Amino acid sequence: DILERPEGLELGGDLREVTIMMSDIRGFTTLSEHLEPAQVVRMLNRYLGAMTDIIMAHQGTIDEFLGDAILAVFGAPLQRDDDADRAVRCAQAMQAAMAGINAENRAEGLPEVQTGIALNTGCVIAGNIGSERRSKYGFVGHPMNVTSRIEDHCAGGEILVADSTLQKLSGHYAVGDRRSLKVKGIHQPVVVHRLLEANS
Amino acid sequence: DILERPEGLELGGDLREVTIMMSDIRGFTTLSEHLEPAQVVRMLNRYLGAMTDIIMAHQGTIDEFLGDAILAVFGAPLQRDDDADRAVRCAQAMQAAMAGINAENRAEGLPEVQTGIALNTGCVIAGNIGSERRSKYGFVGHPMNVTSRIEDHCAGGEILVADSTLQKLSGHYAVGDRRSLKVKGIHQPVVVHRLLEANS
């Protein structure tokens, strides 16, 4: 996508408002200890394959897979008016896809898995980060860290949306369960809401 | 390296004992808020470029850059008898390189930075993780998470080595400051030692 649309790039580093998504499978590491390595990789790749397709269909940029965690942003390299809305719809589609993934897992005698998804919006530095020998389009800034902390509070099947993201939404979504989270390194509590449609 | 030595690969997933290294720059995100985005990326890339060269010279496998964080392993795809020793010497070389990096930062009017490095050894599942559209040689397992938690306790200029790594070392290194860390999701405390030569 980056190469297809070079007009959207500032590889030297620029400030972008993005909606950040972090997801991971609840308890995956513990689960993985009871399975053969090949089963773990097959289960993980089925999940990551389905999630990648959904994120790309919603024009998200996948920054990283880290084990079972996915880090993606909406709004870089290209900013669009509906970045936050696409991120929310993407998270909903990801949760909706879990039933099919778990049906395939069950059919192979593998355990069911549940994912938690955190969404947060803020300004980050986007740029081509790394070295001559290895670099990638990546992101730096407190909103990245905050998203990771919100993700720590997600239960399986849950989507937690930060206030910062809610304020950017044009669409209407049912939210509930306002929670105030203390985040290391951030003085003010981070306010998040549980998205109600998610996998309920 | 992977492509050069296909005999060392089991892309479907296998269990490997590896020494895991995580490093990051203390306070980098906060620092980055007081600089121009282009300065942040230049400073970050100088640092990551130097660290990449050192890690590769010690035959480490870089798994990921995540902002200013580096995740690398020693022992996959190829296992060698001195994986843990190379990881320790690599961490020492990384800390030793910081003086030169900071001299260049000062010369450009940029702030000095300090990095913390965590080392931990354990069995992880290594494999080609991701989807048809995007995959990478990656790692899954509690030792990965534990390394990240040890890293949270590193001060600038410090190398913290887990007991699991110390037990694998052939070389002699001066260590002190035994610390017992409580790690989320792990029942037993994780015992780490401060490596004394680091940047002292």
Reported ipTM: the value is 0.87
Query: Token pair of B46, please?
Result: 């100088």
Q: What is the pLDDT, as a whole number, of residue A195?
A: 95
Question: Domains in chain A, please, with CATH?
Answer: 6-195 (3.30.70.1230)
Contact: A125, B28; criterion CB under 8 Å: no
Query: Token pair of A2, please?
Result: 């980056």
Contact: A66, B128; criterion CB under 8 Å: no
User: Over its length of 200 residues, how does chain A's per-residue pLDDT go in tens digits?
Assistant: 444 444 444 567 899 999 999 999 999 998 998 999 999 999 999 999 999 999 999 999 999 999 999 999 999 999 999 999 999 999 999 999 999 999 999 999 999 999 999 999 999 999 999 888 888 899 999 999 999 999 999 999 999 999 999 999 999 999 987 899 988 777 889 999 999 864 43
A126 close to A77: Cβ distance less than 8 angstroms: yes
Weakest-pLDDT range from A48-52, B10-14, B32-36, B114-118: B10-14
**Dist. CA B72–CA B66, nearest whole Å:** 11
Contact: B62, A38; criterion CB under 8 Å: no
Contact: A13, B125; criterion CB under 8 Å: no
Mean pLDDT confidence for B94-110? 97
Contacts of A41 in chain B (CB under 8 A): 12-13, 125, 127-129, 140
User: Which string of DSSP letters, residue by residue, matches B151-174?
Assistant: HHTPPTT-EEEEHHHHTT--S---
A199 close to A116: Cβ distance less than 8 angstroms: no
Q: What is the pLDDT, as a whole number, of residue B199?
A: 40
Q: What is the pLDDT, as a whole number, of residue A93?
A: 97
Distance from CA of A140 to the nearest CA of B (A): 5
Mean pLDDT confidence for B106-117? 96
Contact: A141, B29; criterion CB under 8 Å: yes
Q: Is residue A3 packed enough to be buried (19+ CB in 10 Å), middle (13-18) or exposed (0-12)?
A: exposed
Distance from CA of A35 to the nearest CA of B (A): 11
Contacts of B143 in chain A (CB under 8 A): none
**Dist. CA A160–CA A195, nearest whole Å:** 6
Query: Would you give the distance in Å from CA A137 to the centre of its chain?
Result: 16
**Phi, psi of B88, deg, nearest 5:** -65, -45
Ranges of beta strands (E only) in chain B are 14-25, 61-66, 69-74, 115-130, 135-140, 159-162, 175-181, 190-195
What confidence tens digit (pLDDT) does each residue in B15-65 have? 999 999 999 999 999 899 899 999 999 999 999 999 999 999 999 999 999
Q: What is the pLDDT, as a whole number, of residue A11?
A: 61
pLDDT band for position B11 (50/70/90)?
low
**Dist. CA B40–CA A87, nearest whole Å:** 27
Contacts of A140 in chain B (CB under 8 A): 28-29, 32, 40-41, 44, 67-68
What confidence tens digit (pLDDT) does each residue in B126-183 have? 999 988 888 889 999 999 999 999 999 999 999 999 999 999 999 999 998 789 998 8
Distance from CA of A71 to the nearest CA of B (A): 10
**A–B: how many Cβ contacts below 8 A?**
150
Contacts of A61 in chain B (CB under 8 A): none
Distance from CA of A16 to the nearest CA of B (A): 10
**Dist. CA B55–CA B68, nearest whole Å:** 15
Q: Is the pLDDT of residue B2 over 50?
A: no
**Dist. CA A106–CA A108, nearest whole Å:** 5
Closest CB to B67: pick one of A48, A65, A144.
Answer: A144
Decide the pairing of beta strands A115-130 and A159-162.
parallel
What are the C-alpha distances in Å from B170 to residues A181, B22, B90? 45, 21, 15
**Phi, psi of B89, deg, nearest 5:** -65, -35
Closest CB to A134: pick one of B15, B40, B52.
Answer: B52
